[in-house]
Structures are given as C-alpha cells and as structure tokens.
Structure 1
Amino acid sequence: MANIKEKIYHVLKGNFLVSNDSFKNWRFILFLVMLMMLMIASSHSSDKKVMEIAKLSKKIKELRSEFVDTRSISMKLKLESTIRNKVFDLELKPSEEPPQVIRVTVKK
C-alpha cells in the first residue's frame, strides 16, 4: 500500500518530468497536447459548419416564401379579369366577333 501512495506522490510532485528518463515522458505529453489541439480545432470547424448550414437553411426558407408570393402575384396579373380592368381606362373592349384564321398556301 505504501508503494502505491509513493507512486501517486511522485506523480503529483512531478518527478516523472525531471528524472533521467524524462525525455520519453515529455515526448508523450507533447503528443497528447498536439492531439488535444487537433481535437479542439476539429470541433470548432464542425461548429462553424453547423452555424453556416443553419444560416443557409433560413435563407432558403425566406427565398422560397418570396418565390411563392411572387408567383401568386404573377398568377393574379395573368387573369383575364385583371387585364380587362387594367385596359378599361384605355377604353379597350373584347371583340364581339371571333378571330378569323388566315391560311397561307404556297405554290411551287
């Protein structure tokens, strides 16, 4: 039991960093630090992409609703009754006679 307490005491005191074979310990610690930094950078990158996806999804919804509004306005403007009301001020009225078909025949 004393052996375990002694090992824990040496770790807490930091003897493993200043002993004769501490070079391999420092290499391992630096490797762990590099892995942690890589993990942090990766998580920041993924968070950034998630935020961009959310922003683009919101913009898509706005553009889709704008498209639907514009299409409905366009459909209303194409209606015959709307066109009649617009040209009423110009005193244009629909023709009473049906249109005539003109056929052109070409002889060679």
Structure 2
Amino acid sequence: MASRFHKILKGDFLTQEGAAKNWRFILFMALLALIMIYTGHSFEKKVHRLSKLNDEVNELRSEFYDLENKLMFMQMESEVAKRLKESGIAPAQEPPQKIKIKLPVDGNNG
C-alpha cells in the first residue's frame, strides 16, 4: 500500500506504457475544473450585478416616493394660492355666477 502511494506521488503512472489513457483523463479533469471555476466566477459576477441593480431600484423607488410627496404638497390649494399671490393673482372675492342661455324651442336652426 505504501509503495503504491509512493508511485502515485512520484508520478510513475504518467510515464508507464499505458500512460496516454491517464493523460487524457487528467486533461479532461483539468478542463472540467476550469469550466467549474469559470461558471463559479460568472455566477458570482451576476450575483453582484443583481445586488447592485436591486440597490439602484430601491434608491429610485425612494426618490419616486419623495418626489410624489413633494408634488402632493405643491398641489395643495393653499400652496398654489401662495405661489399665485407672488405673481399678483389672487382668489376671487365673490363666487362665480351661472350664465343661463335659453334657446328657442322652434325647429328653425338658422
């Protein structure tokens, strides 16, 4: 058992007569390892990008709510009246009057 382990550590299995089979297997395993490393890095990169996009969405959502609150405040009648007062426009002192027009009932339109 110990001699077998020594042979493996020395690399005797790579220099023996049937070593071509071993080399192909080793290259295949190395290729699989490289593919695993690449996919792991690719996955990690996507996770970081997704996290960054989620942070950006949260920031934009909070900015939207902030602007929506400002707009609601700006649309209040008292705020509109303050801004219009600066330009010289004020609310009417008396209520508007209705204008009633009576049209003739006869069938002549013109």
TM range (shorter): 0.7 to 0.9
CA distance in 1, matches of 2:78, 2:43: 54
Listed one character per residue, the Cα deviations across residues 17-53 of structure 1 (whole Å, up to 9, x for unaligned) are 0000000000000010000000000000000000001
* C-alpha spacing 1:70/1:13, structure 2 compared with 1 (3 Å): same
CA distance in 2, matches of 1:104, 1:19: 116
CA distance in 2, matches of 1:61, 1:53: 12
Q: Offset at 1:101?
A: 5.7
Match of 1:53 among 50, 55, 61: 50
Listed one character per residue, the Cα deviations across residues 77-99 of structure 1 (whole Å, up to 9, x for unaligned) are 11100011111123322221235
Match of 1:97 among 95, 98, 101: 95
TM-score by length of 1: 0.86
- Post-superposition, which runs of at least 4 consecutive aligned residues in structure 1 deviate over 6 A? 102-105
Q: Which runs of 5+ in 2 are unaligned?
A: none
* C-alpha spacing 1:5/1:70, structure 2 compared with 1 (3 Å): same
Counterparts of residues 1-108 of structure 1 (less than 5 Å) = 4-95=1-92, 96-100=94-98
Q: Offset at 1:66?
A: 0.8
CA distance in 2, matches of 1:19, 1:68: 73
Q: Which runs of 5+ in 1 are unaligned?
A: none
TM-score by length of 2: 0.84
Length, aligned pairs only: 104
